Amino acid sequence: MKGLYFQQSSTNEEITFVFQERENLPVTEDNYVKLQVKACALSQINTKLLAEMKMEKEFFPVGREVAGIVLDVGSKVSFFQPDDEVVGILPLDSEDPGLCEAVRVHEHYLVHKPEKVTWTEAAGTIRDGLRVYTALHYLSHLSPGKSVLIMDGASALGTIAIQLAHHRGAKVISTACSLEDKQFLERFRPPIARVIDVSNGKAHVAESCLEETGGLGVDIVLDAGVRLYSKDDEPAEKLQLLPHKHDIITLLGVGGHWVTTEENLQLDPPDSHCLFLKGAAVAFLNDEVWNLSNVQQGKYLSTYLKRCDGEVINWCF
């Protein structure tokens, strides 16, 4: 049985992908499940994070979001039985690549797949669905009547975020990075309250949001990255599409929540003071938070996935 792995050069500049023969999976025991893979999503491999976690090795398995059929279960498995249709995310330290015929995975990394959701849809949405649920449910406490700014709404993350926000009864504002994205967002039903086209660099996100909310500001911001410095110090590609951190702080309402994907966010004392006066909060959306917690503490993902993934997949489709 073959599986796909990536190999990084000693200079960390070149990555090659190789198929390798794998030994037969060990006997399924304890809380482990043997899964026949029906679909696997390809996500970006975060080599920087692997280095920080000291998890680098010569060959690293490719593909972690998987959907498939349970073939066998260990004696301590309580959530699944053979022939169940499931979907999940393999842990960061998994030895098995998702891109192979079968994998062995702990039951806590899996949830049941809804019947009406295809294999491809399940594997393709599980990661972004979990990220959005984390951002809007756990980090910003989304509730009916709240106003939400979702940056780059036509992206995979943004599209799911808009659906969840509408599902929870929120008012949605979103940005579009091109004319095609703007047209796509304007076709959403229920409609988005305002689509801000930032592709030409002329739109003022903060002014548009304050105008849409009657000067009160938005309750929740889910960004897709921000500019940290002046125009002279930023790369050209970031100048046009991303708002400055000061714009986000300006458009945030009293008691608001800013959920950021910018891992190197820097807030100066005046920025912190402005957030303090507004009683606002800043939260970081870490793609691997459920896996990092598991690597470090040996727990967490099971309860987390069981509580949210079923709902995520159901409302996405």
Successive 10-residue mean pLDDT values, the chain, 317 residues: 72 69 72 90 77 71 89 87 90 82 87 89 88 90 94 92 93 93 92 90 87 94 85 56 89 95 90 95 84 44 45 48
pLDDT at 230: 66
What is the SS3 string spanning the chain? CEEEEEEECCCCCCEEEEEEECCCCCCCCCCEEEEEEEEEECCCCCHHHHHHCCCCCCEEECCCEEEEEEEEECCCCCCCCCCCEEEEECCCCCCCCCCECEEEEEHHHEEECCCCCCHHHHHHHHHHHHHHHHHHHHHCCCCCCCEEEECCCCCHHHHHHHHHHHHCCCEEEEEECCHHHHHHHHCCCCCCCEEEECCCCCCCHHHHHHHHCCCCCEEEEECCCCECCCHHHCCHHHHHHCCEHHHHHHHEEEEEEEEECCCCCCCCHHHHHHHHHHCCEEEECCCCHHHHHHHHHCCCHHHHHHHHHHHHHHHHC
Residue 59 has a pLDDT of 76
Per-residue model confidence (pLDDT) at position 228: 84
- Residue 239: the pLDDT is 52
State residue 234's pLDDT score.
58
